[in-house]
Amino acid sequence: MGSKSSINLKKNEMARIYGSNRVVGTVGGIRHYRLPGCDFIVAAEKGGASKELIKNNPAFARTRENNEEWKGVTKLAKQVKISFGLDAATVVNRFLIGALNKAMLTALRRNPLEYRGQRSIFLSAHKDVLDAIVYYYYKPFKDVMHCRFEVDTGPDRKSMSVRLTNLIPKEQIKAPGEATHFQLFLHLGVVCDLVFDLDNNYYREVYDGRYHSGSGKTFLTDWIPIDAGSMGDLTLTAELSEDYPLKDDMTVTRCFGITFGKMMSKVEELKKNRGSIEFLGAV
């Protein structure tokens, strides 16, 4: 009583509910749920096409094609995220995998030469799809690290160096209040293009996974006190092994990051405000 709301729902349609009605759940076969960032509740009929119908009915041919390609998109997105290394895991954007999925889908759609449902994903030819993504979680790297640095990549893409000019932590590192120490990390990762295997009906790497699985290399500093004075120029270098068979259809990802810790019996990484990351581009 005293509640006013309006619903207009036709068969197989979705409706929005406005007003003071805030019921969420299923009522009379109608699902009610909120969408993130919206001030209304969505109402939709339960159910839909069965798995068998989607798998076999000609009307769902395009859906089946999209589903196959989505498997490749999510597989490659996951590999890109892994390529940033373990030290980046606590400082990357919590929604990064969604942004990477979107980027890999863009790369896939740029392939006009193969049949839908079987299109290869040539990230090596479309590295730019990685450039516009927000990689950090808490704060942009530039808001945390105020020391100037230069990036140099080796001519064979197997090495990368970051040179910080006259690093003065107590002046140039904007750490959270509870932090006593910080670490810097530099990581090179390798991601291989994906092709659709017609014989086995799945997406696989262009090369055997052994060529690039676990191939990433990280340079990690020791824990450094936040209140340290001038450390002079500091150079970090990450290198793949000299005999690593890096191919043209492999993409090398590069990232530079910082994590914060607090001295207890030993330095322990913070649970919040852990640090930040800068994506240095893919080559």
Question: What pTM value is reported for the model?
Answer: 0.78
Burial of 194 (0-12, 13-18, 19+ CB in 10 A): buried
Mean pLDDT, range 255-281, rounded to an integer: 94
Q: Report pLDDT digits (tens) over 21-63.
A: 666 777 777 777 776 556 677 777 766 667 777 676 777 777 7
Q: Report pLDDT digits (tens) over 174-183.
A: 999 999 999 9
Residue 91 included in any domain: yes
| Same-domain check for residues 32 and 135 | no
Which residue, of 16, 31, 48, is where some domain finishes?
48
Residue 2 included in any domain: no
pLDDT reported for residue 60: 74
Provide the domain limits for residue 34.
8-48
| Same-domain check for residues 12 and 64 | no
pLDDT reported for residue 65: 78
- In this predicted structure, the answer to whether residue 198 has a pLDDT above a threshold of 70 is yes
| Same-domain check for residues 23 and 117 | no
Residue 1 included in any domain: no
Report the domain count for the chain: 2
| Same-domain check for residues 18 and 88 | no
| Same-domain check for residues 256 and 171 | yes
Least confidently predicted of 4-18, 76-90, 163-177, 250-264: 4-18
Q: Report pLDDT digits (tens) over 58-110.
A: 777 777 777 888 999 999 999 999 999 989 998 999 899 999 999 999 999 99
| Same-domain check for residues 33 and 129 | no
Mean pLDDT, range 151-168, rounded to an integer: 94
β-strand partners of 34: 41
pLDDT reported for residue 171: 96
Residue 216 included in any domain: yes
| Same-domain check for residues 144 and 186 | yes
| Same-domain check for residues 37 and 163 | no
Residue 231 included in any domain: yes
| Same-domain check for residues 41 and 132 | no
Residue 3 included in any domain: no
| Same-domain check for residues 69 and 124 | yes
